[in-house]
Amino acid sequence: MAPTAAEQHTRKAVGLAARDASGHLTPLAITRRSTGDDDVVIKILYCGICHSDLHSIKNEWKNAKYPMIPGHEIAGEVTEVGKNVTKFKTGDRVGVGCMVNSCQSCESCNKGFENHCPGIIPTYNTVDLDGTITYGGYSGMVVVHERFVVRFPDTIPLDKGAPLLCAGITVYSPMKYHGLNVPGMHLGVLGLGGLGHVAVKFGKAFGMKVTVISSSPGKKQEALERLGADAFVVSKDAEEMKAAMSTMDGIINTVSANIPMAPLLGLLKPNGKMIMVGLPEKPMEIPPFALVATNKTLAGSCIGGMRDTQEMLDLAAKHDVTADIEVIDVEYVNTAMERLAKADVRYRFVIDIGNTLDKAAAAAE
């Protein structure tokens, strides 16, 4: 049977795919769609490894579609654009984050909050509008609607900028929309990992006093000296927690473990806010008095819209905010996943796709 017109123009590509819940990643030949009128074709140079990639490839959220190519912290350069594209041209330095499509017509999309669209299409492990399965950034190239592509400012290196497309917008958005971006305010950052270390940097960029709250005393020196935090509180130290009670205007909670919430809410001033961006596995227990007695707010936030993502990158460039990374070759990715499971990374792995994917794929063949 002769190929259809669409099949004739699809692009062959290679990615790193998990075939089952073992999560082991190996090269896989795939096809990407032909360039639509509104599409941007991107040669992927770097892709960050988010903790959600690890959850997904191991089917810990029970929604895996195998084979799965993860990755939603994509940085690269434009190689082709569709005829309707106006924002990008060949050679531009661009990125793709956690979503590659939405309905583009609902109230949320019209307000610039595509991340709240009921029809959101995540960057991988989802059925796209054309019926194909989306493959993520652990691959050589990707074709994405112009609306879901952002431009990297010239001053942001692509490798250090890639994690901002998930970790950066995840902490920037709640700081913006919950008023935790005012100079002189006191911000608590709970957890010092991939999300937390970027939250510290944005807090300082906004001119805030930033206190890191962590169960790991060994991270104190790094938080204060390397990341620029103003203070450090060990959450397991009763005296330190007592001294910090009722001092914070807000807390960005990046922790995905189930931990006692009442002592942490006690760190907030009256009318203070805790914003959840981590995803604990089990339901949380919230003592009502911890919220009600002094008018505190517990809220959640999930990534951000495309307009805010570009705004975040522009602010990051202005204040020299990038992720602290460990760049790895494609051949190392499975070891990196094992280390990530043990929180053995400071603070984000980034895969050097551009220089090492083709070599790994050729070796596999």
Per-residue tokens: 318:
């202005």
Quote the pLDDT of residue 9.
65
β-strand partners of 13: 30
Per-residue tokens: 13:
């590509």
167-300 under CATH 3.40.50.720, yes or no = yes
pLDDT, the chain, mean: 95
What CATH number does domain 5-166+324-364 carry, 3.90.180.10, 2.40.10.340, 2.60.40.1220, 1.10.940.10?
Answer: 3.90.180.10
Domain with CATH 3.40.50.720 in the chain: 167-300
130 pLDDT tier (thresholds 50, 70, 90): confident
Task: Say if residue 135's pLDDT is above 60.
Answer: yes
Task: Say if residue 7's pLDDT is above 60.
Answer: no
Task: Say if residue 313's pLDDT is above 60.
Answer: yes
Quote the pLDDT of residue 4.
44
Q: How many CA atoms lie within 13 A of 218 on its CB side?
A: 2
Q: Which residue type is seen at 357?
A: L
Domain with CATH 3.90.180.10 in the chain: 5-166+324-364
Tens-digit pLDDT profile for residues 145-200: 999 999 999 999 999 999 999 999 999 999 999 999 999 999 999 999 999 999 99
Task: Say if residue 2's pLDDT is above 50.
Answer: no
What H or E segment, with its residue span, contains residue 342?
A: none
Task: Say if residue 5's pLDDT is above 60.
Answer: no
pTM: 0.95
Task: Say if residue 216's pLDDT is above 80.
Answer: yes
Task: Say if residue 248's pLDDT is above 90.
Answer: yes
The stretch 65-84 carries a mean pLDDT of 98
CA distance 187 to 199: 9
What H or E segment, with its residue span, contains residue 208?
A: none
Is residue 347 within 8 A of residue 197, CB to CB? The reply is yes
Task: Say if residue 6's pLDDT is above 80.
Answer: no
Quote the pLDDT of residue 360.
80
Quote the pLDDT of residue 131.
86
Ranges assigned E (strand) in the chain: 11-18, 25-32, 39-48, 74-81, 93-96, 99-101, 121-122, 141-145, 150-151, 186-190, 209-214, 231-234, 248-253, 268-276, 297-300, 325-328, 348-352
Q: Which residue type is seen at 29?
A: A
Q: What is the DSSP string of 102-170?
A: --S-SHHHHTT-GGG-TT-EESSSSB-TTSPBP--SSBSEEEEEGGG-EEPPTTS-HHHHGGGGTHHHH
Tens-digit pLDDT profile for residues 257-287: 889 999 999 999 999 999 999 988 889 999 9
Quote the pLDDT of residue 362.
85
The stretch 19-27 carries a mean pLDDT of 97
Task: Say if residue 1's pLDDT is above 70.
Answer: no
Quote the pLDDT of residue 150.
98
CA distance 177 to 1: 54
The stretch 64-87 carries a mean pLDDT of 98
The percentage of residues in the chain with a pLDDT greater than 90, rounded to a whole number, is: 91
The size of the chain, in residues, is 365
CA distance 193 to 175: 17
Per-residue tokens: 66:
């195998």
